[in-house]
Amino acid sequence: MQRPIIDKGFFENLRPIAIPFEKNVLQTLKAGDLISLTGSLYTGRDQTHRRLVALLDEGRDLPIDLHGQLLYYVGPSPAKEGQVIGAAGPTTSYRMDAYTPRLLELGLRATLGKGSRSLPVREAMKKHGAVYFATVGGAGALLSKSIVKSELVAFEDAGPEALFRFEVVNFPAVVINDLEGNDYYEMVAAQRSGVKYEKAI
């Protein structure tokens, strides 16, 4: 097992959060908060989502129970011998927007990626009590050090788009969309333009 090496000094003052989430934790998270995630999560990206939603369309069971879970948008590079995983940073989240509301209906509580989400996804998150986090794009080598275990769960033939279960320790992230409908990217943009921030949803 590799020692997680992300701690203070990279992001200061990270608030530790356990995943799956403890009761009533999500409502305490605000857009712009810096957190570090420890626990288990599932991964998925374009083809993973397409397949999950196809199963739902066919009325079949999913290979995992998404209730209460966090889904990390990542397609890792292959592990060398002795490594848990290769580089494993976030992929751009908007490509999953078409599928996300369906998964939120099943109780998915959080997603993790990079870049902003569509208004329909943000509305669905608010409705279902879910949050969205981003982490540092293009830092896949460093972020891989926070992943202490990786196991294949489904869709092996999809290669890097397979569904994995990760165990993570001190995985750094920023809260982008909180339960109140705030959006951190829009807060930053409003500040930049010198206008008062107003929630879009």
> Residue 109 or 172: which CB sits closer to another protein?
172
**Closer CB to another protein, residue 15 or residue 67?**
15
Min separation Cβ 119 and another protein, Å: 14
List contacts with another protein (CB under 8 A).
Answer: 10-12, 34, 46-47, 50, 74-80, 83, 86-89, 91-92, 94, 114-116, 134, 136-145, 158-161, 174, 184-185, 188-189, 191-192
* Measured CA distances, 89 to 74, 77, 114, 145, 193 (Å): 6, 10, 9, 11, 30
**Shortest distance, position 114 Cβ to another protein, whole Å:** 6
Cis link prior to 20 (omega < 30° from 0)?
A: yes
Nearer to another protein, 2 or 40 (CB): 2
Active site residue 128: no
- Within 10 angstroms of residue 62's Cβ, the number of other Cβ atoms is 15
Query: How many CA atoms within 13 Å lie on the side-chain side of 84?
Result: 22
Report angle CA 179, 93, 67 to the nearest 5 degrees.
55
> What tokens appear for 134 in the block?
């981003």
Tell me the closest approach of the beta carbon of residue 40 to another protein, in angstroms.
20
Torsional class of 129: left (φ above 0), alpha (ψ -120 to 50), beta (otherwise): left
Smaller CB distance to another protein: residue 124 or 134? 134
Q: How far is the CB of 176 from another protein (least distance, A)?
A: 9
Choosing from 45, 49, 117, 122, which is the catalytic residue? 49
> Catalytic site residues?
49
